Structure 1
Amino acid sequence: MNRSKISFGKINLNPNKPAAAVETPAEIEDEATTSVNTGGGFKKMGKEQLIRQVEEVTDDMESQHLKEVMGISGFGRKTAKVFDINEQIAKAREVAPSKPRTDTDQRKAGEDDDSDDEPAFGPLPTDAVGAAADTNKQSVTKLKKTNADSDDDEDDDDDENSDDGGHLERKIPNTHEVQMQHGSRAVLALAGDPAGARLVSGSIDYDMCFWDFAGMDAAMRSFRTIQPCENYPIRALHYSVTGDMILVVSGNSQAKILDRDGFEKMECVKGDQYISDMSRTKGHTAQLTSGCWHPYTREEFLTAALDGTLRIWHGLKSKEQKTVIKTRAQGGLRTNASACIFNRDATLIAVGCADGSIQMWDTRKMFVNTTHCLRGAHQKGSEISSIQFSYLGTHLATRSNDETMKLWDLRKFKDPLHSWTDLFSRYDTTDCCFSPDDKMLLTGESLPKGAKEAQLHFYSTQTFEEVKRIGVTDSHVIKALWHPKLNQIFVGCGNGVIKCYYDELLSSRGAKLCVVKTHRKKKHTEMIGVSQIITPHALPMFRQEKSRSSRKKMEKERLDPVKSRRPDLPITSGQGGRVASSGGTLSSYVIRNLGLSKRVDDDQDPREAILKYAKEAEENPYWIAPAYKKTQPKPIFTESSGEPDAKKAKEE
C-alpha cells in the first residue's frame, strides 16, 4: 500500500526551559517529537502516533523477511531502519547535563547528535539537515584519509621489510642442524610427504632410504632401505598429493609406484624401441630423466625420458599412458626433456629441454603446439637440471649446468627477471626451490676445484641480491628441499650425507622430534618385582630360592635348554620321527624296511660288517657252500711274506 515518506529527526531537549532546571524523564518523553514530510512543510507528531508508525514499520519488516524466506524478496523497496523510542530516551538522558550550559554548548551538542543519526526511509531535506550532512561528510572524509594514510604506512612498512636483507635472513631456519647418513655415494633425490612426517632419499648406489621423524631418535637412522629398481640409480622421488604413494624415477625406462612403506604397487610398461613413432608405443623406450605427480589428481603423474617424449599416466591398473607429448627443437627435430613439472593448479606443464629451451603446454588444450616456447633460455647442450613454479604461480625458476640460475615472470616471458651466474654444477639433478613465501630462491653448488666447502645460496626474488650463504659440507650440494609445513631445509650431498637445518622458533616437528630422544639399548630381561617371604625353618623342598643378580640368573637360564630355546642337537640315528643325516638315502631305507630284520648301523664299515660273519659261514654254510660242495675245489690262498718279491727277469 502507498504511504507518505517518513523520516525520523533528532530528539532534542527543550531549549525554552531554564538552564538551571534539570529535566525529568517524563518531561523528556513529552518533548520527544518527530517530523513528517507532507509535501508542504513539517509538522509535529505526538508520541502515540510515533509508536503506531514504528509498529507498522516493524510489521512491514516481518512480512518482508517472510517474503525473502519464501523466495519473494524486495520488490525494489529499501529495508526500513527501526528506532526504539526507549533507546532514544536513554541516549537523551545520558546527554542531559548536570550543570548549566550555554546556548552555544547546546547547539554544539545538537550538531553532534545530528551526526550520529541516519535517515530511515531516505535523505532528509537539505534545509533541515544541511549542517548535519556537512558534518557527516567531513567526518567520512577524515576517516577515509586516515585509513588511506594507515594503508600507505603499512605498504611502506612492507616495502621496507621486503627490501631489508636482514629481515629475509631472519626467516631462514638455520639456527640448528642435524645430519643423516644415507650411505657413501651421492644423494640424487629427496622428497618429503605433504604432512611432514616422513622423508625419502635416493642415491646413485641404487638404494632408497625411508626416514620417519616420529620414530627416529638422536642417532637419525632410517627404518628401511630398499633397492626398488635393481641396479639403476634413483634420479627423482616425489610424494603424491595424499602422501600414500611415491613415484620413483630411475635410470631405467620404467617408472615405479611404491606405497608409503616401500612396497611396489605399479610398474610402468616398457615401450617398443623398434617403433619410430613414439606416440604409438605404450611406454618410454629410453632412460627416464624426471617425473612428478599431478597437484590434485591422486593417480595421475608425469614422466620425461631421453626418447624425446613426456607421458601422462593415469590409474594404477591400466599401466598405460594417457597422453604423449613430444618435445621439438628449433628445426622440428626431436630434443630430449631433462626436467618437467606441473604448476600449482595443473593448468600448465613446463619442460626444460637439452637444447636450452623452455617449453610449456596448456593442459586444457591439445598437446600439439606449445603455449609458451622460449628458445635459448639456457646454453645449448647443457641440461636444465631443475624447473620450479612459485607457490603463487606467477614466477618460474630454472637451474642449468651452464652455471646459471634464472628467474622468469610468466606474464613477461621473453626475458628473465634476473640471472645468477658462477653456480658450478656437476650433476644433472642439481635443483633449486622457492621459500614458502616466494620471497627467496635457494640452490646448491658443486664443490669447485681447490675449494674446501660447498655452499648453499639464498637469493631474494625482489631485489635479486644474495641474502645468505651457508657452508654445508666438503662435498657437492645436489638437492635442496625447503618443506613448507615443517619450515625446515633438507640438503642432499655428494658424500651420502643429508643435512637438515631448522629453527627452534620458526620450525615445527620434523627433526625437532628426533634430537630430543636419546638412544637406549633394549634389555631382553624383564624385571618383575616379587615379594620374598623368608622362612628360616622351612623344609628344603619348600624353601624359596634366594634372589640372585641378573647376570647369574641369565647364566643359569642359559644352561636350561627350555628357557634358552636351544636348537635340537644332531642325531646319529632316527628317533622321534627324525631321520639321521646318514639315514636319508634310498639304500638305508631299503635295508631298514625291506632287508634284514636286524638293525644295520650306517656308520659301520661295510667290510667289517661282512667279515664278522666269515667264521660262521665257514663253520655252518647254508646259502652258497652246500650247492658247490661236491664240485668246488678246496681254495688255496697265497701266503704273503709281507715284502713283495723282486721282479723276475724276462725269459728269453
Structure 2
Amino acid sequence: MDEAALRAMLPSGFGQASGETEAYAGSEHADESEFADDDEFEDEDEEPVPERGEPASEAAVEPSEPQAEAPAEPLPKTPAELSEIQWAHLAGYANMPLTQSIVLKDHTKTVSALGIDPSGARLATGSHDYLVKLWDFGGMTTSLRTFKSFEPAENYPVVQLAFSPYSKNLLCLCASTQARVYDYDGHEIALYKKGDVFMRDMRHTTGHISDITCGGWHPVDDQVFYTAGSDSTVRLWDMHHQRSQTTVIVVRSKERGTKTKVTAATFAPDAKSILASGQDGTLYVWSTTGNLARPSHTVHEAHAPGCGATSLTVSACGTKLASRGADDTVKLWDLRQLRTPLHVRDDMPNGGDHTDVLFSPNGRQLLTGTASVQGSTAPTDLRGEWGQIVALSAEDLRTELVHPVDRTSVQRVQWHPRLNQVFATTRSGDVHIYYDTEASQLGAKLALRKRARDRTNHYAADPSTTDPYADVPIMVPEEEEDDYFDPVYKKPQFPRDPRNTRVPERPLEGRGKNGRIGRSELQPLVAELWEGDLRAEDPREALLKYADKAKKDPRFTSVYAKTQPKTIFAEDDTESRDAQ
C-alpha cells in the first residue's frame, strides 16, 4: 500500500498540531495528487448544505437531546407556608378594604361572638340576647336578613362561635358549662357533658364546672377542639366523645394552690404549643409534645393583675404573639424569648371581655377594636367618642390606620383572607362588613347583587278610592275590646319544623321489637283479675270505714281509756279575747 492510499484512509490532520496542515500544504515538496484525493474523500463525507427554501435531508437533521424538566416546586409542609400561599394575592395590597360597608342589624344586644366559614359563604353571629344567627351570602338580598336564628342555651349569652377549618361544623360556646357542636345548617350534632361541681381536683372531672369563657378548633385536626373556663382549666375534646374530654390542663395562679379564671386561650399555627392568659395577668405556654402538667413558659404580670388578656393571636410564622389586655394595652411578644414584650401600646381603650386582636392576612399589620370614650370630639383619636378599628404595624406597633365604626365599643374583628373583607361587631348589636369594590370578592358584594323582592301588590285596588269609609277607625266599646276579633288579621304562618310537628308513636301491639316494649296478651287478663284500684278510691272514705272499728277495738289509743275516757278539745276563747 502506497503512502497516498494510507493517508487517504486517515484524517487529514492526523499526527499534526494545529497549523501544521497549512504549512505542509504550502510546502514545495507537497504532492498535489495527494491533496486532490483528500479533497475527494472530504467531499464524500460532508453533507451538502441545502439552498434557501429547500428542505434539509433526513440525515442532516440530528435528533435533539431531551431537555431536562424543570424541578417541581416543593409542596408546603408547615402552616406558615400554607398561609403564605393562601394570602399571596393580598401581599401587594397595602391598604385595608374599608372603602364600602354594609350593616347587619338583627341583634338587640352586644354581638360577642363571630364565626366565618373558611370558604366565606356563611357567617354566624352570637349575642348577649342569647341568640345565634346564621347568614348566607349566596341567599341574601339587599334586605340583609338572616336565614336562621336559634337559642343554643336558654338565658346564657353566646361567647364564642367558630367554624372548623376543614369540615363544616360550627362550635358554639355559651357562658354555661357545656359545649355544643352544630352542623352547617344549624342543627345540633353533639352536646358535651359538664363536670361534677363537688369534685375538688379538676383533673378528675369530666367537663367544666363553671362558665366557659373561650375556645376554638385545633388548627390541624378538625375533629378536636378546646375550651377554657373560669374553673381554671383548659380542656381538649374529641368531637366523637361527648361523655368526657381527652386532656385537662389545670392553670395555677402565682399564689400556691389558688385558681384563676382563664380569659383567653389559643393554639399556635403549627399546633405545637397552647397559650392561655389568666385573670391574674399571667401568660402561660404549654408544649403539646411534652408534659402538660406544667407550663414550659410563664410570664407573670404580662398584663395588669385582675385584668388579663381578652384575646391572644400568633403570627403565621409562629414567632410573634400579640395580646389584647383588658388594661387598655396591646403588647407584641417574641415567642422565642418571652421575658419582656417587644413593644407596648397603652392607649387602646378596651370596652369588653371579647375584644379581638389579630394579624392581617399578609402579616404586616395588627387589627383590633377600641371602645368609645365620652368627652372627646376628635373621631380619629384613639380615645374618641367613636368605637374604631385600629391597624398597627406588626413591627413596632405604630398606628397606620384608624377607622371609626360606631358610637359604641367595637368587640370582635375578623379579616377574611379569601374575601378580603373586614368584619366588626359592636355593643349596639350591629355587624359591620367592610369591603373594597376592586380588591374584595364575593361575600357582601354577592348579597348586594340581588335586589329584595317587592311584596307590594300593584294590581290590588286602592281601598281609599273604592270604600269612602276605609280611613275611618272602627269604634268598639271599652268593655268589648277584649272580645273584638278583626277578621282581616291572620296569624303568621311559620314553616313547620318536622321535629316539632312529629306525631307521637302509637303503643306497640303484640311482642316488643326494636327496643320498644310491647303489649302482651296476658295484660288484659291480669287487669280483670285485679279487683281493686287504690288510685280511684277516695282517701277520706277509706279512713272512715275504720271509724267504728277503732271505737270498739282501740288498739293504738287504749292508753288514754282511763286517763281520758272522753276526748277533750281546746275551748274557743276568741270571744273573750275580743272582749278584752
TM over 0.5: yes
State how far apart, in whole Å, the 2-side matches of 1:312 and 1:462 are: 33
- Aligned partner of 1:464: which letter? L
- Pick from 154, 177, 185 the counterpart of residue 101 of structure 2: 177
- Cα deviation per residue 1:283-330 (whole Å; 9 max; x = unaligned)? 100111111111121221100011111111113344310011011122
State how far apart, in whole Å, the 2-side matches of 1:378 and 1:28 are: 97
- Pick from 324, 341, 345 the counterpart of residue 399 of structure 1: 324
Deviation for aligned residue 1:263:
1.3
Aligned to 1:296: 220
State how far apart, in whole Å, the 2-side matches of 1:174 and 1:28 are: 84
Deviation for aligned residue 1:221:
1.4
Aligned to 2:310: 385
Aligned to 1:418: 343
State how far apart, in whole Å, the 2-side matches of 1:425 and 1:27 are: 97
Aligned to 2:132: 208
1:520 aligns with 2:453: yes
Aligned to 1:572: none
Deviation for aligned residue 1:412:
2.3
Aligned to 1:140: none
RMSD, aligned α-carbons: 3.4
Q: 1:170 to 1:438 in 2, by over 3 A?
A: closer
Whose radius of gyration is greater, 1 or 2?
1
* Contact 2:192/2:242 (8 A) holds in 1: no
Q: 1:522 to 1:283 in 2, by over 3 A?
A: same
TM-score (norm 2): 0.62
Aligned to 2:264: 339
State how far apart, in whole Å, the 2-side matches of 1:232 and 1:170 are: 41
Identity of matched residues, %: 33
Alignment of 1:102-121 (within 5 A): none
Aligned to 1:99: none
State how far apart, in whole Å, the 1-side matches of 2:130 and 2:63 are: 85
Alignment of 1:525-544 (within 5 A): none
- Structure 2: gaps (5+ residues): 1-17, 27-37, 48-57, 65-90, 377-384, 467-489, 492-580
1:193 aligns with 2:117: yes
Aligned to 1:439: 364
Aligned to 2:391: 458
1:489 aligns with 2:414: no
Q: 1:194 to 1:27 in 2, by over 3 A?
A: farther
* Contact 2:351/2:410 (8 A) holds in 1: no
Q: 1:228 to 1:89 in 2, by over 3 A?
A: closer
Deviation for aligned residue 1:449:
2.1
State how far apart, in whole Å, the 1-side matches of 2:425 and 2:63 are: 75
- Cα deviation per residue 1:10-47 (whole Å; 9 max; x = unaligned)? x99x99999xxxxxxx9899499xxxxxxxxxxxxx99
Q: How many residues align?
A: 391
- Pick from 152, 156, 172 the counterpart of residue 232 of structure 1: 156
* Contact 1:407/1:419 (8 A) holds in 2: yes
Q: 1:169 to 1:420 in 2, by over 3 A?
A: farther
- Cα deviation per residue 1:538-567 (whole Å; 9 max; x = unaligned)? xxxxxxxxxxx7769xx9xxxxxxxxxx99
- Cα deviation per residue 1:327-353 (whole Å; 9 max; x = unaligned)? 112233322211111111211111011
- Pick from 246, 251, 276 the counterpart of residue 175 of structure 2: 251
Q: 1:178 to 1:29 in 2, by over 3 A?
A: farther
Deviation for aligned residue 1:362:
1.2
- Cα deviation per residue 1:520-579 (whole Å; 9 max; x = unaligned)? 225899xxxxxxxxxxxxxxxxxxxxxxx7769xx9xxxxxxxxxx99xxxxxxxxxxxx
State how far apart, in whole Å, the 2-side matches of 1:498 and 1:196 are: 16
- Aligned partner of 1:184: which letter? T
Q: 1:28 to 1:239 in 2, by over 3 A?
A: farther
Aligned to 1:69: none
Residue 188 of structure 1 aligns to a residue whose secondary structure is strand
- Pick from 279, 293, 311 the counterpart of residue 235 of structure 2: 311
Greater Cα offset, 190-199 or 254-263: 254-263
State how far apart, in whole Å, the 2-side matches of 1:173 and 1:89 are: 56
- Aligned partner of 1:335: which letter? T
Q: 1:31 to 1:206 in 2, by over 3 A?
A: farther
1:287 aligns with 2:234: no
- Cα deviation per residue 1:28-78 (whole Å; 9 max; x = unaligned)? 99499xxxxxxxxxxxxx999xxxxxxxxxxxxxxxxxxxxxxxxxxxxxx
* Contact 2:279/2:305 (8 A) holds in 1: yes
- Structure 1: gaps (5+ residues): 1-10, 19-25, 33-45, 49-83, 91-166, 526-548, 556-565, 568-652
* Contact 2:180/2:190 (8 A) holds in 1: yes
- Aligned partner of 1:309: which letter? T
1:499 aligns with 2:432: yes
Aligned to 1:634: none
Aligned to 2:548: none
State how far apart, in whole Å, the 2-side matches of 1:27 and 1:221 are: 94
Aligned to 2:502: none
- Aligned partner of 2:411: which letter? I
Q: 1:422 to 1:316 in 2, by over 3 A?
A: same
> Which structure's relative contact order is higher, taking Cα pairs within 8 Å and 6+ residues apart?
2
Moved over 3 A (4+): 14-18, 26-32, 84-90, 167-170, 522-525, 549-552
Deviation for aligned residue 1:356:
0.9
Alignment of 1:150-161 (within 5 A): none
State how far apart, in whole Å, the 1-side matches of 2:391 and 2:61 are: 62
State how far apart, in whole Å, the 1-side matches of 2:310 and 2:41 are: 83
- Aligned partner of 1:342: which letter? F
Residue 321 of structure 1 aligns to a residue whose secondary structure is coil
Q: 1:169 to 1:465 in 2, by over 3 A?
A: farther
- Aligned partner of 1:476: which letter? S
State how far apart, in whole Å, the 2-side matches of 1:455 and 1:407 are: 20
* Structure with the larger helix share: 1
Greater Cα offset, 401-410 or 412-421: 412-421
- Aligned partner of 1:413: which letter? L
* Contact 2:413/2:424 (8 A) holds in 1: yes
* Contact 1:487/1:506 (8 A) holds in 2: yes
Q: 1:550 to 1:412 in 2, by over 3 A?
A: same
1:468 aligns with 2:392: no
Residue 407 of structure 1 aligns to a residue whose secondary structure is strand
Q: 1:30 to 1:258 in 2, by over 3 A?
A: same
State how far apart, in whole Å, the 2-side matches of 1:319 and 1:232 are: 22
* Contact 1:384/1:400 (8 A) holds in 2: yes
State how far apart, in whole Å, the 2-side matches of 1:490 and 1:29 are: 85
Q: 1:476 to 1:551 in 2, by over 3 A?
A: same
Aligned to 2:294: 369
State how far apart, in whole Å, the 1-side matches of 2:169 and 2:63 are: 70
Deviation for aligned residue 1:503:
1.0
State how far apart, in whole Å, the 2-side matches of 1:27 and 1:186 are: 100
State how far apart, in whole Å, the 2-side matches of 1:27 and 1:551 are: 112
* Contact 1:29/1:89 (8 A) holds in 2: no
Residue 246 of structure 2 aligns to a residue whose secondary structure is strand
Deviation for aligned residue 1:243:
4.4
Residue 512 of structure 1 aligns to a residue whose secondary structure is helix
Q: 1:15 to 1:380 in 2, by over 3 A?
A: farther
- Cα deviation per residue 1:197-236 (whole Å; 9 max; x = unaligned)? 0111111111111111111111211111111111000011
